[in-house]
A = this chain, B = another copy of it.
């Protein structure tokens, strides 16, 4: 079997699909043209309102084997995927492809639809129960995992062809203009649905909040929308926006956050006008607090912060520590409110933020990013998709994109979780290639990628606890009390981990129960 640039064996043909092995993070420069957009003239204001989701299936001609797409801004509060797929199931449709940007635990009803053949393939992120079902080999065809930027790329070049895009919209008008900013199901940005709405053959806006024309800004535009459906509720606010997210208080994790910020500072990253991306995890939020302190002490201001946004970043904007927020996804109520009211808080779309096949991505302009991992290995390869038992339980998010773009990418993680090491010789699956990772920060020290000898030198000069990655793996194994048990696989590939350029960085095998 051909071996790719991170040492993984990649079968040439899986389920009728030819796989191109990953060749390196910056090796593929496709040229040519995107797939054309559908042309659908309307001379008059048509009546786009349809009475039900069921009706929209007729209008869009959805039949067996169709590819239906969804976005994940409503996160674990989303009602729309289940509602739409329930209609599909009741209509007896089979062999559908689900092309969501992400699934959460709330989408557990999808499991049954996979088992009964309503859904036969998935291209999108899976968090939790659906991923487990795929790992167990219960889906007829393949799952394909892509990063945020890669998903837009795939839609643009026709690798992911969407028949009908369903856009869950917290506010919309009768002509199809929509955004995520207002209404009982407000979720902030709506950009993950944007490429879908443009490139799908048909686009349906599903809303619980019709307002007078025109809803502004038209993040989803009338120009691309065919039909609008009013339903009672598109989501549960409790699951959409968690009230407030909290930094870790665990001393070990706090130490990781502190070391991460010390590393960035030692390497000269935290300076006036710098930019950063931070997530919503406990370590990331704690690291933000340390950055904030450092910025105040230095009396400097960041140019911009990007990411899934939390109230912690909003607070820094309001304190004048950040010039602009660029928001692809709101994680909590304060960030939704800030997007609505603060002119320095901007919504951006994933094409702008991460698509490697366009002429400019935000990730390329980010100075510092800290990301998580389920596993990292001595080649600095990172796994965020599977656990050490081989189960597919998480999506890629923007992991590959940010790591490839950001000038400094730091993985923050403990050496182990319970009795499974996180740092190891070889990750169960590679999501993000080591060449795009600059450092791993753990409670047992900082491992810096040998490609960055400049960083190693600066970190040592600052007396940081720099440790060889091999030593770190040994410590992790000791602390965990041994290696994790090997996954028990069949020889069937159930999922492909695409790299952001469309090559295959790894495949996931079926797990024997």
Contacts and interface: CB of A to CB of B under 8 A. Distances in A.
Contact of A346 (B41, B45, B217, B501): B217
Contacts of A214: 304, 324, 326, 362, 365
A218 B40 contact: no
A43 B31 contact: no
B38 A360 contact: no
Interface in A155-204: 156-157, 175-176
A41 B48 CA distance: 36
Contacts of A346: 216-217
A221 B360 CA distance: 8
A273 B211 CA distance: 12
A29 interface: yes
Nearest to A153: B41
Given A223-B352, A352-B218, A352-B221, A29 B45 contact: no
Given A34-B39, A45-B365, A214-B365, A360 B222 contact: yes
A35 interface: yes
Given A223-B351, A303-B213, A359-B224, A30 B39 contact: yes
Interface in A6-63: 25-26, 28-46, 48
A187 to B, nearest CB: 19
A470 interface: no
A30 B36 contact: no
Contacts of A98: none
A290 to B, nearest CB: 24
Interface in A192-249: 212-214, 216-218, 221-226
Nearest to A203: B359
Contacts of A378: none
Main SS of the interface on chain A? loop
B35 A225 contact: no
Contacts of A26: 43-44
B44 A40 contact: no
Nearest to A40: B359
Number of copies of chain A assembled together = 2
A404 interface: yes
A340 to B, nearest CB: 9
B303 A223 contact: no
A501 to B, nearest CB: 8
A365 B175 contact: yes
Interface string A345-366: 0101001100111111110110
Contact of A45 (B28, B176, B364): B364
Given A216-B324, A351-B223, A39 B45 contact: no
A273 B175 contact: no
A503 to B, nearest CB: 13
Interface string A255-294: 0000000000000000001000000000000000000000
Interface string A101-121: 000000000000000000000
Contacts of A348: 218
Contact of A357 (B39, B357, B362): B39
Contacts of A39: 30-34, 156-157, 357
A223 B25 contact: no
A404 B303 contact: no
Nearest to A202: B359
A404 B43 contact: yes
Interface string A314-343: 000000000110100000000000000001
A157 to B, nearest CB: 7
A400 B212 CA distance: 26
A191 to B, nearest CB: 12
Contacts of A357: 39-41
A273 B225 CA distance: 23
Interface string A361-377: 11011000000000000
A34 B37 contact: yes
Given A35-B36, A213-B303, A360 B223 contact: yes
A36 B33 contact: yes
A226 B356 contact: no
15 contacts: A29-B43, A32-B38, A33-B38, A40-B357, A42-B358, A43-B501, A45-B364, A45-B365, A175-B360, A213-B303, A214-B324, A214-B362, A218-B352, A223-B352, A225-B360
Query: What are the 8 A-B residue pairs with the smallest beta carbon separation, nearest first?
Result: A222-B360, A33-B36, A45-B364, A41-B357, A26-B43, A223-B358, A34-B37, A36-B36
